[in-house]
């Protein structure tokens, strides 16, 4: 597969803008990935990555913190058990003392302690500097305390109060009532998000599975199309070579005809045969391009559409006319063979919609400067399409005709969207009134 830099350099030589170089490269990448049989491996790998990410989140952000919290609570429980079973309470330095101070001074949840006069005395894990006791900082702490009250009701507790007497001894006073304002720990917040994360991972996994299934199904359809197209091109190649040979012999025989009128008649027949043989050769070339990455060159889309319309005018049913009404258009990166084939199918589809009656196919253009696109409008006055079927017409196998494989518009969609990075859709359709198809293609700026 060619790298982006290689494709960008090739696009620069062709005069493509950086935006369209990227668009062409992405389209090429998508076509190549879609055509590879190893897509199931990519899907399997992406599923493993999703699972590993979820396991990483659960292990690092939930399980390990829960284990640490369990160990801490076990240590506190052991200390409290020793206190309740002891004859007298004695705070020993070292293990128990460190446990108490560590728990009080470094809580793992946001906490604010405010005295009975409304003055914050201690706070931690609230995003405010715990060493700054300025008025502005204390006001921030009070606001945080109010926010914490929305999460949990504050807890009131007694705080001993002492005053020093004249003799230098501490005198106990009635305890003050302080309040503890606290919020949820990071662990609790992670646990509260865990069901949503699990649901999101499940939805992502199901979505990836669905997309993978659709992609695999589309790959199978593409494989059938590509195989059929290439086999058709191969089968057409042999009789075409023979036809060219027979035409050369016929041309040599015509040169020896003495009757001038008869010779002119044969030459006219030979010319028509040559045109149709060349057309067959062109069709063979189109089929051979299916499945490969076509080369796009900046060209005038009007010329391609005009050639297709000129060829079909004498071959469409009598009474059906194609009317072109183009304004000035910028150049569009396109493959002339494939885009001509797409519009040929569109015109034939519009003619078939008239069901043998006289009709008109109007081809016009609009420029979408905001999105840098050229919109080609193909309107017919045929039988129209019911609203609920406007999306189904592009599906492989869908056809309203008794004969036909239902691949015409499916090929058109593939050529427009996969190969030219454009878009095709039905803008308007009314049963008995006609249908308006829109082909939107990215264009090049005049400076390119």
443 with 372: CB under 8 angstroms? yes
Instruction: Among 141, 160, 184, identify where a domain stops.
Output: 184
Measured CA to CA, the distance from residue 439 to residue 394 in angstroms comes to: 13
pLDDT in the model for residue 47: 73
Domain contains 383: yes
The most distant pair of C-alpha atoms in the chain lies apart, rounded to whole Å, by: 149
SS3 168: coil
Which are the contacts of 292, defined by CB distance < 8 A and separation ≥ 6? Answer: none
197 with 54: CB under 8 angstroms? yes
Measured CA to CA, the distance from residue 292 to residue 289 in angstroms comes to: 6
Listing DSSP states for 319-346 in one string gives TEEEEEE------EEE-HHHHHHHHHHH
pLDDT in the model for residue 172: 72
244 with 277: CB under 8 angstroms? yes
Instruction: Among 184, 210, 226, identify where a domain stops.
Output: 184
346 CB neighbour count, 10 Å cutoff: 24
pTM value is: 0.50
298 and 431 part of one domain: yes
pLDDT in the model for residue 100: 64
Kindly report the CATH number assigned to the domain that includes residue 382: 3.30.565.10
Measured CA to CA, the distance from residue 256 to residue 258 in angstroms comes to: 6
Measured CA to CA, the distance from residue 437 to residue 376 in angstroms comes to: 8
Could you tell me where the beta strands, DSSP code E, fall in 268-405?
297-299, 320-325, 332-334, 359-368, 373-380
pLDDT in the model for residue 347: 93
392 CB neighbour count, 10 Å cutoff: 13
Measured CA to CA, the distance from residue 56 to residue 380 in angstroms comes to: 58
Domain contains 347: yes
- Locate tokens 């058109």: which residue? 412
Handedness of CA 329, 334, 335, 340 (dihedral sign): negative
pLDDT in the model for residue 88: 63
180 and 299 part of one domain: no
| Domain limits for position 310 | 294-442
Handedness of CA 445, 417, 401, 436 (dihedral sign): negative
40-76 burial code (b ≥16 CB/10 A, e <16): eeebeebeeebeeebeebbeebbeebeeeeeeeeebe
Cα torsion for 43, 49, 50, 55, to the nearest 10°?
150
302 and 427 part of one domain: yes
Nearest to 24 by CA among 422, 347, 352, 384: 422
Domain contains 7: no
DSSP state at residue 389:
G
Instruction: Among 149, 184, 219, identify where a domain stops.
Output: 184
pLDDT in the model for residue 63: 77
Domain contains 101: no
Name the strand (E) or helix (H) holding 289: helix 260-289
Domain contains 265: no
Domain contains 193: no
Domain contains 83: no
- Locate tokens 């190969």: which residue? 419
> What tens-digit pLDDT sequence spans the chain (448 residues)?
445 455 555 555 545 556 555 655 555 555 555 444 555 666 677 778 877 887 887 788 777 877 777 777 776 677 666 666 666 656 565 555 566 666 666 677 888 889 888 899 888 888 888 888 888 889 999 999 998 888 888 888 888 776 776 776 766 778 888 898 988 877 777 777 777 878 887 887 787 777 777 777 777 766 666 677 666 776 777 787 788 888 888 888 877 777 778 878 888 888 888 888 887 887 777 677 666 677 888 999 999 999 999 988 888 888 899 999 998 889 999 988 889 989 999 999 899 888 878 899 999 999 988 888 999 999 999 888 888 888 788 877 666 665 555 567 888 888 898 888 899 999 999 888 899 999 999 986 544 4
Tokens (6 digits) for 390: 């406007």
Please state the three-class secondary structure of 404-440 as a single string. CCCCHHHHHHHHHHHHCCCEEEEEEEECCCEEEEEEE
pLDDT in the model for residue 424: 93
- What residues pair up with 179 in beta bridges, in sequence order? 114, 156
Which are the contacts of 222, defined by CB distance < 8 A and separation ≥ 6? Answer: 34, 35, 291
Measured CA to CA, the distance from residue 362 to residue 436 in angstroms comes to: 9
Measured CA to CA, the distance from residue 4 to residue 436 in angstroms comes to: 37
What's the total number of domains in the chain?
Answer: 2
Domain contains 118: yes
The alpha-helical segments, DSSP class H, found in 172-185 are none
Measured CA to CA, the distance from residue 43 to residue 217 in angstroms comes to: 13
Tokens (6 digits) for 338: 């494939």
314 and 432 part of one domain: yes
Nearest to 410 by CA among 427, 431, 424, 389: 424
């Amino acid at each position: 597969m060619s790298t982006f830099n290689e494709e960008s350099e090739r696009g620069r030589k062709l005069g493509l803008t950086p935006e369209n170089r990227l668009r062409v490269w992405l389209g090429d990448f998508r076509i190549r990935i879609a055509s590879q049989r190893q897509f199931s491996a990519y899907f399997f790998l992406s599923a493993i990555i999703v699972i590993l990410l979820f396991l990483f989140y659960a292990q690092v952000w939930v399980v390990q913190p829960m284990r640490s919290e369990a160990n801490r609570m076990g240590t506190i429980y052991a200390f409290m058990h020793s206190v309740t079973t002891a004859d007298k309470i004695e705070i020993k330095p070292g293990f128990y003392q460190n446990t108490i101070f560590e728990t009080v001074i470094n809580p793992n949840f946001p906490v604010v302690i405010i005295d009975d006069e409304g003055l914050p005395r201690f706070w931690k894990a609230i995003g405010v500097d715990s060493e700054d006791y300025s008025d502005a900082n204390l006001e921030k702490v009070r606001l945080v305390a109010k926010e914490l009250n929305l999460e949990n009701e504050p807890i009131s507790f007694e705080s001993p109060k002492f005053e020093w007497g004249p003799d230098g001894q501490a005198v106990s006073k009635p305890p003050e009532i302080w309040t503890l304002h606290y919020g949820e720990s990071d662990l609790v917040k992670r646990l509260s998000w865990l069901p949503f994360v699990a649901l999101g991972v499940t939805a992502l996994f199901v979505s990836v599975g669905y997309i993978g299934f659709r992609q695999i199904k589309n790959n199978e359809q593409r494989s059938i199309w590509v195989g059929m197209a290439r086999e058709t091109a191969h089968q057409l190649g042999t009789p075409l070579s023979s036809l060219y040979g027979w035409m050369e012999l016929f041309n040599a025989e015509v040169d020896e005809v003495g009757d001038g009128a008869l010779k002119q008649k044969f030459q006219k027949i030979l010319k028509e045969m040559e045109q149709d043989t060349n057309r067959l050769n062109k069709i063979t070339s189109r089929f051979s391009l299916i499945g490969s990455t076509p080369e796009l060159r900046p060209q005038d889309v009007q010329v391609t559409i005009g050639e297709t319309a000129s060829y079909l005018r004498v071959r469409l049913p009598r009474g059906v006319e194609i009317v072109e009404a183009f304004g000035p258009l910028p150049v569009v990166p396109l493959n002339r063979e494939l885009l001509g084939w797409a519009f040929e199918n569109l015109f034939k589809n519009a003619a078939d919609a008239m069901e043998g009656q006289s009709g008109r196919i109007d081809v016009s253009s609009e420029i979408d400067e905001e999105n840098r696109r050229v919109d080609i409008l193909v309107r017919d006055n045929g039988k129209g399409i019911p609203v609920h079927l406007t999306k189904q017409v592009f599906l492989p196998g869908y056809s309203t005709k008794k004969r036909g494989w239902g691949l015409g518009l499916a090929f058109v969609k593939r050529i427009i969207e996969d190969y030219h990075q454009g878009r095709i859709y039905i803008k308007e359709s009314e049963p008995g009134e006609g249908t308006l198809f829109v082909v939107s293609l990215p264009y090049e700026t005049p400076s390119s």
